[in-house]
Structure 1
Amino acid sequence: MKNSSIISPLWSLILALVLLYGCDAEGGFGTSSNKPKSRGAIGEIVVAVDSIKWQGPVGQAVRDVFEGSIPGLIRDENFYDLRKVDPRAMNKVLKMSTNIIYVTTFDDKKGGSQVINAMFTKESKEKAAADPSLFMLRNSDEFALDQEVIYLFGNNEAELIQNLKENKRQLQNLFQVRERNRMQKVILARKSSEANMAGQQLGLQLSVPASYQIAKSADNFLWLRQPTISTARPDISLFFYSTDYTSELQTFPDSIIALRERITRQHIYGNPDNRNSFLITERLDPSPVFTNFRINDNFAVEIRGGWKTNNLSMGGSFLAYIMVDAEKGKLYYMEGFVYYPNEAHRESIREIETILLATQLVAPETKAQ
């Protein structure tokens, strides 16, 4: 993603808002050749904010944005793990964190906020005062490579809270895209050529880690699975299906669920020896969540929800996409589902999301014969 704000069209003004550390001894700007590599767990964000502000309405607003529950999982899990740090304790080690958010308001005289406020020039504060919609600065690789640093600010708490509420989804998405790109470098370093060849039979170019194996390949259907050698690892499956696109009605929620269950009833079983163990969709807890989407300029619908086997022996979370290729008159269903009883599913779903969104349509002339 380009180093630019997704929040305000007045990016040229925002660039002038902040005077950061420069080339100081505490690890500020420097050439890329002498910066260390950032480090931190996927899904973790360091939040530098005054302790009193963190305990008040601003802290709650920040938590509402970044610790909100991920839709569609079978149990509550936060989007991100927040690690609160006093700004005065942001040493060289903490500044190497992969994701950092600084939070302040310019009217705050408390010690932690004053440390952050000192980074802003008088002129930048005057610009923020003149335009209350300016509340964020995004700066990549500020202290380390492959790093995202966000400054969230306001003239007062009410102003900042309002901007956080109004831009909640965009702020979540900013780190979501960042973490997906970060995961992609790791899990797609080695890809399965076998899976890609099988996917081309469906009209799809797949980018799947080499650890996934073909469980079943049939007309218009492909099931890939990452074998689990112990209960300490999630069992992740991916499946892909293609059919003719004849009507917009095929992209409506009821039609998508019906299609999903036609596929799983025919092809996917919790126990291959028990034909009554086919996968079905959890309707109530959680209810499926549908979001219009675009994948490589193609209309798509994202579906998040829970699955279970018809005989109730297994269950878990899934993420799926319906993607339309109107030019070729084809509709593609692609899904990843995880089986990991009593454990967190967030990172497994993030892995599934990374793989599925790397999928591309095969051009007609390169489709396998």
Structure 2
Amino acid sequence: MKPLLRFSMFILGAVMFFACDANGPLSENTKPKARGAIGEIILVIDSAKYAGPVGDALKNIFEADMPGMIRSESKFKVNTVDPRAMTRMLKMSTNLVYVTTFDDKGSASQVINAQFSKESKEKALNDPSIYSLRVEDEYAVGQEVLYLFGNNEEQLVTNLKKNSDRLQNLFEVRERGRLESIILARKNTAANAEAEKNLGIQINVPASYQVAKSQPGFLWLRQPTPTERRPDISLIFHVEDYVSEEQTFPENILALRDSITRQHVFGDPEDPTSYVVTEKQIPPAFRNMVINDNFTTEIRASWRTNNISMGGTYLGYLMVDQEKGKLYYLEGFVYYPNEVHRDALREIETILLNTDISWVPEQGS
């Protein structure tokens, strides 16, 4: 027996009826907690469809290369699963993406198609712009389930390409929120006190980070005990007067960044030639945005020491607070030879985006 379908709306605007069979969603009282690593997506799709144009479009969304990296790394860790092989355990995954087209008569796609009602398929047939459905906590608490569909492959591919940035952003924001609840559960109040005193901002960093250097206008924090399973992550914060829009030009951002690291950050403190510089052979990637009403430029790039003894990747933000007349540069850089940097960069992003550059101390404090 198939219970009544229900309306749901995905953030991109798709509305669809949806059916659940006896192996479908549990009641709210009996659902387990979703499980899955940060940045992991389970992609449920027919292998033949994944090998074709639909798969190429999905790879460009979820497995696109991160910019500015020393070596190729995808935005998410994607595991593909045949719909016929979905077990109860896999259905508990934190991020599930089901992909199908309604004209596919293959047995794998039919497993997904059977979850849609006749009315829902007719609705999609009459409105080709409908291609997605988002359901939270469908099989487990804390779960994101996304259905991507079309009447045929051409229609689905068109919609995937048109909405690739939104689909990426959906999971990027979600995973950053998940990570924030984990790593910022215990905060370093001493580091924040240094940031308030020397930079006039408030920062939120995990308790595991320690102050490596603090002086007026500059702060360097570092994970004290990197291991084979834990990357060496550093965070730097800098403030100076904002006097011209030219300070936000890409070439000037890189010049500012390298002037900061040349003065403060060394691979070997005993060797003055080991200061850190941007690796220009790997083109840095810039993206403009607005964060808390402040113009911001994001920089993703690679770094090396001047004497080429060390290297890695970094993520930086140049933020302008026009009201205070200040320009802030925030960065996290990773040293983790021959290992994946994606998770470390997501941690850096989560921490830096929790910075409040508009903070103003209370009078008398």
Do these two structures clear the TM 0.5 threshold for a shared fold by scoring above it? Answer: yes
Question: What is the CA deviation profile of residues 102-158 of structure 1, one whole-angstrom value per residue up to 9, with x for unaligned ones?
Answer: 000111111111111121122221221122111111111111111111000011000
Deviations along 1:184-211, one digit per CA (max 9) or x if unpaired, are 1111111100011111121221110000
Deviation at 1:25? 4.1
Partner of 2:154: 158
Contact 1:205 1:359 in 2 (8 A): yes
Q: Report the more deviating stretch, 148-157 or 170-179.
A: 170-179
Q: Does 1:357 align with 2:353?
A: yes
Aligned AA (1:157): E
Confirm whether residue 296 of structure 1 aligns to residue 292 of structure 2: yes
Distance in 1 separating the partners of 2:236 and 2:361: 24
- Give the one of 311, 317, 328 matched to 1:315: 311
Give me the whole-angstrom Cα distance separating, in 2, the residues matched to 1:206 and 1:181. Answer: 17
Distance 1:133 1:358, change over 3 A: same
**Which of 272, 276, 280 is the equivalent residue of 1:283?**
280
What residue identity is the alignment partner of 1:299? F
Query: Partners in 2 of 1:102 and 1:229 — Cα distance?
Result: 37
- Residue 211 of structure 2 corresponds to which residue in structure 1? 214
What residue number does 1:82 align with?
A: 78
Structure 2 partner of 1:253: 250
Give the SS at the match of 1:144.
Answer: coil
Matched, 1:61 2:57: yes
Q: Residues 78-107 of structure 1: CA distance to partner in whole angstroms, max 9, x if unpaired?
A: 111221112122221111001100000111
Structure 1 counterpart of 2:213, one-letter code: K
Distance of 1:155 and 1:135 partners within structure 2: 9
Structure 2 match to 1:134: 130
Q: What's the CA shift for 1:367?
A: 8.2
Matched, 1:269 2:240: no
Residues 224 and 368 (structure 1), Cα distance of their counterparts in 2 relative to 1, 3 Å cut: farther
Say yes or no: does 1:168 pair with 2:168.
Answer: no
For residue 43 of structure 1, the aligned residue among 19, 39, 43 is: 39
State the partner residue of 1:179: 175
2 CA distance for matches of 1:79 and 1:368?
A: 46
In structure 1, which of residues 25, 30, 41 is the aligned counterpart of residue 27 of structure 2? 30
- SS state at 1:361 partner: coil
Note if 1:233 corresponds to 2:230. yes
- CA shift for structure 1 position 368: 9.0
Conserved in 2, the CA contact under 8 Å of 1:316 and 1:338? yes
Task: Note the 1:91-106 alignment, pairs <5 A.
Answer: 91-106=87-102
**Number of residue pairs matched?**
357
The 8 Å contact of residues 38 and 146 in structure 1, kept in 2 or not, is answered as yes
How many angstroms does 1:167 deviate by? 1.5
- What is the DSSP-based 3-state SS (H/G/I as helix, E as strand, rest coil) of the residue aligned with 1:34? coil
Amino acid across the alignment from 2:346 = R
Aligned residue type for 1:247: S
Shift of 1:56: 2.0
Structure 1 counterpart of 2:267, which letter? G
2:201: which partner in 1? Answer: 204
State the match for 1:20 in structure 2: 19
What one-letter code is carried by the residue in structure 2 that aligns with 1:250? Q
Q: Given that residues 205 and 360 in structure 1 are in contact (C-alpha distance below 8 angstroms), is that contact kept between their aligned partners in structure 2?
A: yes
Q: Distance in 1 between matches of 2:362 and 2:278?
A: 35
Contact persistence 1:18–1:119 (CA under 8 A): no
| Cα displacement (A) at 1:18 | 2.9
Q: CA deviation at 1:170?
A: 1.6
Q: Counterpart of 1:73 in 2: which secondary structure?
A: coil
Matched position secondary structure for 1:307 = strand
Deviation (angstroms), 1:26: 2.0
Unaligned runs of 5+ in 2: 1-7
Cα RMSD of the aligned pairs, angstroms, is 1.7
Give the secondary structure class of the aligned counterpart of 1:319.
strand
